[in-house]
Amino acid sequence: ITVKGRKVGYMYKEKPDNQTDSGWRFMAGDETEEYMNDPENMAIYDVNTIANYDQAILPLLDSPVGSAFIRNSSGVLVEDK
């Protein structure tokens, strides 16, 4: 997202790891398992930074732990059940 300026394709919220962690995890949505298994491809960003790349996440940020959203074929982030 931040490297290539992509939109968020998948986001989910888990229990935060610490007081500064929002619990949100963001991905472009097309990452391979090999890519995701390489720690060099992961980074910690302020949620505001991700929102600057993709404002579509803003109305979803108050969602509870366990929430997940995926970008559908129309380009809209929808709940991923």
Instruction: Encode pLDDT of 35-48 as tens digits.
Output: 999 999 899 999 99
* Statement: residue 81 has pLDDT above 90: no
Distance between CA atoms of residues 19 and 16, nearest Å: 7
Confidence (pLDDT) at 5: 82
For the entire predicted model, the pTM comes to: 0.89
More confident residue, 13 or 1: 13
Distance between CA atoms of residues 30 and 7, nearest Å: 11
Distance between CA atoms of residues 39 and 44, nearest Å: 11
Closest CA to 1 of 59, 46, 38, 33: 46
* Statement: residue 4 has pLDDT above 90: no
* Statement: residue 21 has pLDDT above 90: yes
* Statement: residue 57 has pLDDT above 90: yes
